[in-house]
């Protein structure tokens, strides 16, 4: 008896009869839906979850410094001590689950998009700095549009119950992720879930710049040595993220304020996330705190994001290499 493969073979279109566009489309789909892209996406998601969990208190301090402008403490240790003293020992980990959930989804989308498009465009050849930047921007845009609602909710949950110095902040009372989505849609409209989308779209240059520098450093080192050590990966990951964060930090501050969305500011224009609001918040920040007000919390952000990004990339690289080794697949060197 002929097996199922025989019937399938008799019905299949001979390879020679498929048109070139059809073959190209099939190859494109194969690149996008490849096992390799999935490995990169899962490794990136797990790497980010591991790194963020380790350095989560630093992110809590950074967010308080960005959103609560009237807080007198300026340094990360001082802010963390204040939070623990006033709100309890576990307060620096408030909002951990929604943040980790959002980060996991966000990095899965980013790494899957980045590596799928890279497989499609580079096609086994060496990539270039320009291509890495373009791929990073496209992956970033897809990530922002798909995951911003998760980040809006987790920003609010993370700051819920915080003791603010700024009376302009309206407190929230959400029972969890689902309730937060429900209340935001009910009270502010569904578009409020995309608060901060505009600065977030501008901020796609942050991971794009980060991976452009990282991939560039990586290519240079791999010309001189067979493979990168853990220290190599950690250091170039940290340097790449430090450059990207410093260049884009003012917009990150605006993004945090818009995502939080609880300031009694700019009442005449409630279309949060618009270009007008971005410029308004930047002007207000400079007017009230001077030019350096745009960089309030940068120390905490650099400390948190550089260490987190470096550890994330290290875990990502090791997981990816280990998975390909275990599965007996060749680790793609599209770098």
Over the stretch 171-210, which tens digit does the pLDDT of each residue have? 778 888 899 999 999 988 998 898 878 777 877 888 888 8
User: For the chain, what is the mean pLDDT?
Assistant: 79
Share of the chain above pLDDT 70, in %: 79
pLDDT at 84: 92
Phi, psi of 324 (to 5 degrees): -65, -35
Q: Is 169 helix (H, G, I), strand (E, B) or coil?
A: strand
Span of 230-234, 246-250, 330-334 with lowest mean pLDDT: 330-334
pLDDT at 42: 93
Q: Which residue has the higher pLDDT, 269 or 194?
A: 194
Mean pLDDT of 12-28: 50
pLDDT at 41: 92
**Is residue 14 predicted with pLDDT exceeding 60?**
no
> Can you tell me which residue has the tokens 């007017």?
287
> Residue 333 CB: number of other CB atoms within 10 A?
9
Q: Which residue has the higher pLDDT, 9 or 63?
A: 63
pLDDT at 261: 62
Span of 122-126, 236-240, 259-263 with lowest mean pLDDT: 259-263
Mean pLDDT of 81-85: 91
Mean pLDDT of 68-77: 74
pLDDT at 262: 55
Q: Which residue has the higher pLDDT, 301 or 214?
A: 214
Per-position b or e across 216-236, b if 16+ CB within 10 A of its CB: bbbbebeeeeeebeeebbbbb
Distances from the Cα of 24 to the Cαs of 27, 29, 125, 156, in angstroms?
A: 5, 9, 17, 45
CA distance 219 to 334: 10
Tokens for 281, please give them.
Answer: 């918040």
Q: Which residue has the higher pLDDT, 129 or 12?
A: 129
At 236, the pLDDT band (50, 70, 90 cuts) reads very high
Contact in structure between 79 and 64 (CB atoms under 8 Å): yes
Mean pLDDT of 234-260: 84
CA distance 236 to 1: 59
pTM equals 0.68
pLDDT at 26: 53
Span of 26-30, 150-154, 167-171 with lowest mean pLDDT: 26-30
- Pure H helices in 126-196: 129-159, 177-188
pLDDT at 166: 66
Tokens for 41, please give them.
Answer: 């996406």
| pLDDT per residue as tens digits for the range 92-143 | 998 888 889 888 999 999 999 998 888 888 776 777 888 888 888 999 999 9
pLDDT at 1: 41
Share of the chain above pLDDT 90, in %: 22
Span of 27-41, 89-103, 196-210, 217-231 with lowest mean pLDDT: 27-41
At 3, the pLDDT band (50, 70, 90 cuts) reads very low
pLDDT at 79: 87
pLDDT at 335: 44
> Can you tell me which residue has the tokens 């550890």?
311
**Is residue 8 predicted with pLDDT exceeding 50?**
no
């Amino acid at each position: 008896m002929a097996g199922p493969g025989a019937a399938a073979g008799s019905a299949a279109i001979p390879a020679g009869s498929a048109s070139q566009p059809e073959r190209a489309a099939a190859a494109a789909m194969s690149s996008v839906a490849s096992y390799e892209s999935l490995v990169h996406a899962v490794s990136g998601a797990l790497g980010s979850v591991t790194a963020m969990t380790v350095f989560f208190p630093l992110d809590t301090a950074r967010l308080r410094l960005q959103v609560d402008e009237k807080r007198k403490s300026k340094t990360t240790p001082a802010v963390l001590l204040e939070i623990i003293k006033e709100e309890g020992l576990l307060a620096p980990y408030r909002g951990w689950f929604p943040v980790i959930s959002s980060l996991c989804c966000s990095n899965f989308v980013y790494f899957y998009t980045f590596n799928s498009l890279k497989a499609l465009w580079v096609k086994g050849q060496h990539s270039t700095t320009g291509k890495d930047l373009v791929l990073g921007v496209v992956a970033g845009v897809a990530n922002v549009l798909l995951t911003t609602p998760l980040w809006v909710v987790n920003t609010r949950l993370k700051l819920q119950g915080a003791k603010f110095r700024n009376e302009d902040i309206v407190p929230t009372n959400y029972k969890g992720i689902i309730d937060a989505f429900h209340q935001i849609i009910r009270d502010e409209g569904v578009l409020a879930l995309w608060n901060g989308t505009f600065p977030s779209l501008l901020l796609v240059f942050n991971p794009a710049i980060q991976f452009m520098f990282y991939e560039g450093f990586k290519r240079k080192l791999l010309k001189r040595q067979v493979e990168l050590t853990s220290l190599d990966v950690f250091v170039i990951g940290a340097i790449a993220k430090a450059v990207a964060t410093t260049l884009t930090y003012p917009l990150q501050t605006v993004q945090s304020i818009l995502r939080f969305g609880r300031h009694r500011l700019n009442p005449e224009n409630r279309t949060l996330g618009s270009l007008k609001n971005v410029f308004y918040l930047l002007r207000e920040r400079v007017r009230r705190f001077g030019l350096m007000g745009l960089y309030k919390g940068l120390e905490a952000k650099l400390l948190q994001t550089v260490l987190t990004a470096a550890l994330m990339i290290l875990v990502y690289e090791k997981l990816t290499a280990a998975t390909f080794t275990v599965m007996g697949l060749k680790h793609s060197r599209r770098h």
